[in-house]
Amino acid sequence: MKRTSALARLTPSDQYRLLALAEYELANKPTGAASRWLERARPEQLAPDRAHRTWLILAGRAWGKTTTGSHGVNLAVRQGRAHRIAVVAPTLADVIDLCMRALREAAGPEAIFSASGHPRLRWPNGAEAMGFSAEDPDSLCGYESDFAWSDELAAWRYPEEAFHQLQFGLRAPGARQIVTTTPRPIPLIKAIMTDPTTVVTRGSTFDNAANLDPATLRYFEARFAGTRLGRQELDGEFLDDVEGALWNRGAIDAHRVSAAPDLVRVVVALDPAVSSAENADETGLIVAAKGIDGHGYVLADLSGRYSPDGWARRAVGAFRSWGADRIVAEVNNGGDLVQETLRTVDPVIPFRAVRASRGKRARAEPVAALYEQGRVHHVGSFPALEDELCAALPEGGSGPDDRLDGLVWAFAELGPGQEGPQAGTRDGEALGRRVWWCQQCDSGFQWDAGRLCPVCLFPAPETFDTALLRPPREQPRWPSEPPMNALVSARWRRR
Ligand SMILES: Nc1ncnc2c1ncn2[C@@H]1O[C@H](COP(=O)(O)OP(=O)(O)OP(=O)(O)O)[C@@H](O)[C@H]1O
Ligand SMILES: [Mg+2]
């Protein structure tokens, strides 16, 4: 058979694959890993032949996003198109454990990895890939590159800030980038998708079935098929707002901030799961605060699948690292065990047990209303939490809502939106407007109906009585020695 007719019988995707292989072989001394990738890559895993600045891959879990990104970088290096490459991932651990590891595999043994300073990989031709954590957008300032790879963009804490810093540096003539991510309808991804210099590739987990464990795929299908989570995480669908959901992305995005103001209260809210089995519910663990402006701020979403000891350690760790005032935990499922488990980690941790008497959604609605009014702000992005919120229907939905529960408990405790101290005053003065001086030990603490004095446990008045509110003295007064009481005020420790 003549070669030309043999070529004509190939499918368009095989023709494309052959062309890419030939181009590569012509331009380079082939290396084992790169050639092997060109042979086994699915056509949609090879860089598009259309001119582009950004190749955006929106695909389900385990589609091969990281593998495609790493081989895409390596091929660009071997073809002489990339010399200074920025590699950005959600955290530094992701940069090293996922991206740099995949790049090393793609680049082969002659590329040298160094972890000192920014993680970096150097190819024999002098090209260098430098790793950056998206948690620290400023670290990208001043790094000039001709190629970039952003992995899991939708999971970045500060996607806009980090991606824009990356774009300022990606300015060599003909610069290109690969963005690989599970799709989430965040504004940045929508903007990249509609940019005329972007080529988009879509895909589902099942496209990569030949390389995945069949039992795992069956489990994914059984557990997630047809659910919103499954449509997004497996099918790679780009799901917008759910009609009638309690939260909508527009309201969260509109009031998102990159830093919180001074905080008057911080709480860690915990909704513990009864089991840590692989298919059990997650433990909701949210750190939230009330700012000096009276608004609510979500500071961290540490939810996940933990053993009881695991969630207790995480909650106590969060309490300490955020200088929180207390942990609030739903005890409907765990009863006294929840408190006991927390106390095994820290016997003096300020703790409040809460029990759900009303339906979940009835509790959630006032919190959702505060978002609508712009009185709750997310400090950075919390993709998994935001997915849950924006899928929650008033009548209850089939999706998970463990993070949502944690969030609702946090704001039930904080009561954002109530009139708070005025912004712009000095911290002490501002606090003084709502500080109550305990009648027993004369310590100052923020008034909150039905609470105990955090130092001596003397009860605060049930209703706020301005007669008890002394004009702020120099500052709220705190005892000079640590109180020996079990409920040591975290604020006392923070002084
Ligand atoms: N074309 C391919 N040929 C062979 N194996 C592949 C191919 N594409 C991906 N794989 C394999 O599939 C698995 C999943 O790939 P990878 O980790 O890159 O997916 P991912 O989409 O980044 O996953 P996650 O959503 O977990 O980040 C890996 O073991 C990878 O080696
Ligand atoms: Mg990946």
Residue 406 has pLDDT above 90, yes or no: yes
Pocket test for ligand 1, best of 94, 208, 213, 232 (most atoms within 8 A of CB): 208
In this structure, is residue 158 part of a structural domain?
A: yes
Q: Is residue 244 part of a domain?
A: no
**What pLDDT is recorded for position 31?**
63
Return the ligand number nearest the Cα of 62.
1
Look up residue 354 and give its two tokens: 């809460």
To test the pocket of ligand 1, the residue of 211, 212, 233 to mutate (highest count of ligand atoms within 8 Å of its CB) is: 211
- Domain stop point among 392, 414, 436: 414
pLDDT tens-digit readout, 143-182: 999 999 999 999 999 999 999 999 999 999 999 999 999 9
73 and 122 in a single domain? The answer is yes
Using the mean position of ligand 2's atoms as its centre, give its distance from the Cα of residue 61 in Å. 7
Q: What pLDDT does residue 463 have?
A: 57
* CA 62 to ligand 1 center in whole angstroms: 5
Give 149's strand partners: 87, 178
- Protein residue with its CA nearest to atom 25 in ligand 1: 61
| 409, 432: one domain | no
More reliable by pLDDT, 203 or 490: 203
Token couple for 127: 């090209």
Q: In this structure, are 103 and 195 located in the same domain?
A: yes
pLDDT of residue 36: 87
Q: Is 26 helix (H, G, I), strand (E, B) or coil?
A: helix
Tokens of 114: 């160094």
User: Which range marks the domain in which residue 166 is found?
Assistant: 27-215
Q: Using the Cα atoms of residue 178, residue 184, residue 189 and residue 190 in order, give the sign of their dihedral.
A: positive
Residues at CB less than 6 angstroms from ligand 1 = 40-42, 45, 61-67, 208, 211
- Residue 115 inside a domain? The answer is yes
Look at residue 221 and tell me if it is in a domain.
Answer: no
Residue among 291, 303, 257, 292 nearest 405 (CA)? 303
- How many domains, the chain? 3
For the chain, the C-alpha Rg in angstroms (whole number) is: 27
Q: 209 C-alpha vs ligand 1 centroid, how far in Å?
A: 10
CA atoms within 13 A on the CB side of 239: 23
Residue-wise pLDDT tens digits, 185-223: 888 999 999 999 999 999 999 999 999 999 999 988 888
**Secondary structure of residue 458 in the 3-state scheme:** coil
pLDDT tens column, 17-34: 767 766 665 555 546 778
Ligand nearest to the CA of 68: 1
* Per-residue pLDDT reduced to its tens digit, 365-389: 888 888 988 899 999 999 999 989 9
Looking at the structure, tell me whether residues 283 and 190 fall in a common domain: no
- Report which bound ligand comes closest to the CA of 216: 1
Query: Among 8-12, 95-99, 246-250, 297-301, which stretch is predicted with the lowest mean pLDDT?
Result: 8-12
Kindly state whether residues 410 and 429 are assigned to the same domain.
Answer: no
pLDDT interval class at 283 (50, 70, 90): very high
| 419 part of a folded domain | no
Q: Does 323 lie in the same domain as 192?
A: no
Highest averaged pLDDT of the listed ranges 120-124, 242-246, 476-480: 120-124
5 domain-assigned = no
* C-alpha span between 219 and 236 (Å, rounded): 17
Assess whether 256 and 402 both reside in one domain. yes
What is the H or E stretch that residue 19 is in?
A: helix 12-27
Task: Assess whether 370 and 480 both reside in one domain.
Answer: no
pLDDT of residue 474: 35
User: What confidence tens digit (pLDDT) does each residue in 70-96 have?
Assistant: 999 999 999 899 999 999 999 999 999
Tokens representing 418 are 């109530």
Residue 108 counted as domain residue:
yes
Local confidence band at 269 (pLDDT 50, 70, 90 cut-offs): very high
**Residue type at 102 in one-letter notation:** A
Cβ atoms of 295 and 354 within 8 Å: the answer is: no
Please tell me the predicted confidence (pLDDT) of residue 223: 80
pLDDT band at 69 (very low <50, low <70, confident <90, very high): very high
* Mean pLDDT of the residues in the chain: 81
At 462, is the pLDDT very low, low, confident or very high (cuts 50, 70, 90)?
low
Evaluate whether residue 113 is within a structural domain: yes
CATH number at residue 338: 3.30.420.240
One domain, residues 345 and 408 = yes
Report the nearest atom of ligand 1 relative to the CA of 63: 21
Is 401 found in the same domain as 430? no
* pLDDT of the residue at 438: 60
Q: Which amino acid is at 31?
A: T
Q: What is the pLDDT of residue 207?
A: 96
CATH code (residue 41): 3.40.50.300
Query: How many other β-carbons are positioned within 10 Å of the β-carbon of residue 15?
Result: 14
Identify whether residues 283 and 169 lie together within a single domain. Answer: no
Contact between 254 and 260 (Cβ < 8 Å):
no
State whether 74 and 203 are in the same domain.
yes
SS3 368: helix
**What is the pLDDT at residue 361?**
74
pTM score: 0.69
Percent of the chain with pLDDT over 70: 76
Query: Taking 80 as the threshold, does the pLDDT of residue 450 lie above it?
Result: no
Distance CA 391, CA 401 (A): 9
Of 388, 414, 440, the residue that ends a domain is: 414
Place of tokens 């901030």: 257
